[in-house]
Amino acid sequence: MSDIIIRVAARGDGVTANGRHAAFAAPGDTLSEDGRVTPGPHHQTPPCGHFPRCGGCQLQHLDDESYAGFVTDRVASALDAQGLTAPLRPTHVSPPHSRRRATLHAELKGGRVLIGFSEEKSHAIVDLAECHILDPQLFALVAPLRTLLQRLGFKRRGDIHLTLADQGADVLVTGFSPDGLEAAEAIIGFCQRHGVARFAVDDGLGPETRWEPEPVTVTLGGVGVPLPPGSFLQATRDGEAALVAAVRDAVGQPRTTADLFAGLGTFALALPGKVYAAEGARDAILSLKGAANATGRMVFAEHRDLYRRPLTKAELDRFDAIVLDPPRAGARDQAEALAEAEVGAVAYVSCNPASFARDAKAMVEHGWQLDWVQPVGQFRWSTHVELAARFSRQPSSG
């Protein structure tokens, strides 16, 4: 007896109504009794020849409609697991070829340097000949980087962090630190030929810049912010714009806002009024502070580890609105303090629907209302899902 795939589970398997799972199946596919999958109307031909071996994508077999549905379902399922409901806004999905930040792996194998993502569920590297998620400006560096690393005598496994900055590509190679005049000339020549904005290496002692003809920046909220090597950025400009728009909509026009886990200032520099920005990464908060001061933005930036020292209720109550954008683990302690706070609105941005739902439950149990959730799929064809949400309540009269 055959069954119809009705949804895609969190790890990418297609699932039938009676709980049968099938790899690389899309909603509408037919799963036969012997496990064969017959493609349905939402099953597309994967655009990349490396799929499904490459771990960079898990869902290239889904058409646009079913991929957006997967992103929506991930968020809805996480809320449901905590007994929560909220209006879900239409899912925003970033287009192909839009990733401006990625970490590739490199190793010498068979006398040749391989560069690419790891295979799915493996440490083996898929040597990229094509890529449909990376910005073309970044992918164009993959082949020349192979040649450069080969020339520099690259032998150990390392990572290549690629970021598209205002001035061009920012390259950080870890696990490697070539020395000598010949290496310096090779790096400079590579950067000049390919328009690289910065080239840095890190052999475990911190990034060491080998090429940066002008200071590298990334524009956030209309401000050029100095970009430390390897810094966190939203994966796509498109996804960043969607999240910023959702956050601005969530907080409205506050006079004062606290931006927690502020990073380089993605949200702090896009908000009206006065902003307090807290971030545990010292280099990021120093960049934000310098950029805000240089442009006269009303942003007070503080280096603060919010896991060790979350803002207290008394501190939170000084603000009209709070923006929260924690790492994947969420912000359990900060959310618990926030649950007690008397703030007009909270915008919560998350890269993990499960930890978001856990924190959201704590807030709802303390009288907050989860007004809406905006699912965002900026990691195209990946099982990685993001969201922005709005919480509100009236300040207590006591």
Query: Per-residue confidence at 50, pLDDT binned at 50, 70, 90?
Result: very high
pTM over 0.75: yes
pLDDT at 397 over 50: no
Average pLDDT over residues 288-305: 96
CA distance 286 to 352: 27
Residue in 54, 57, 191, 351 annotated catalytic? 351
* Orientation of helix 64-81 relative to helix 353-365, angle to 10°: 40
Could you identify the residue written with the tokens 């839009």? 98
How high is the mean pLDDT of the chain?
95
- For the stretch 227-269, pLDDT in tens is 999 899 999 999 999 999 999 999 999 999 999 999 999 999 9
Instruction: Please state, as a whole number, how many other Cβ atoms lie within 10 Å of the Cβ of residue 37.
Output: 18
Query: Per-residue confidence at 394, pLDDT binned at 50, 70, 90?
Result: low
- For the stretch 142-156, pLDDT in tens is 999 999 999 999 988
- For the stretch 172-193, pLDDT in tens is 999 988 999 999 999 999 999 9
DSSP string, 107-154: EEETTEEEEEPBBTTSS-B---S--SSB-HHHHTTHHHHHHHHHHTT-
Buried b (16+ CB within 10 A) or exposed e, 225-245: bbbbbbbbbbbbbbbbebbbe
pLDDT at 396 over 60: no
Is 351 an active-site residue? yes
- For the stretch 328-386, pLDDT in tens is 888 889 989 999 999 999 999 999 999 999 999 999 999 999 999 999 999 999 999 99
Helix (H, G, I), strand (E, B) or coil at 314: helix
Tokens of 203: 């052999």
Binding residues: 234, 261, 279, 325
Tokens of 275: 């902003």
- For the stretch 123-146, pLDDT in tens is 999 999 999 999 999 999 999 999
Tokens of 235: 């994966």
Angle subtended at Cα 330 by Cα 298 and Cα 249, rounded to the nearest 5 degrees? 45
Helix (H, G, I), strand (E, B) or coil at 342: coil
Binding residues for S-adenosyl-L-methionine: 234, 261, 279, 325
Average pLDDT over residues 56-73: 97
Residue 162: which of 212, 224, 211, 99 has the closest Cα?
99
Average pLDDT over residues 151-168: 95
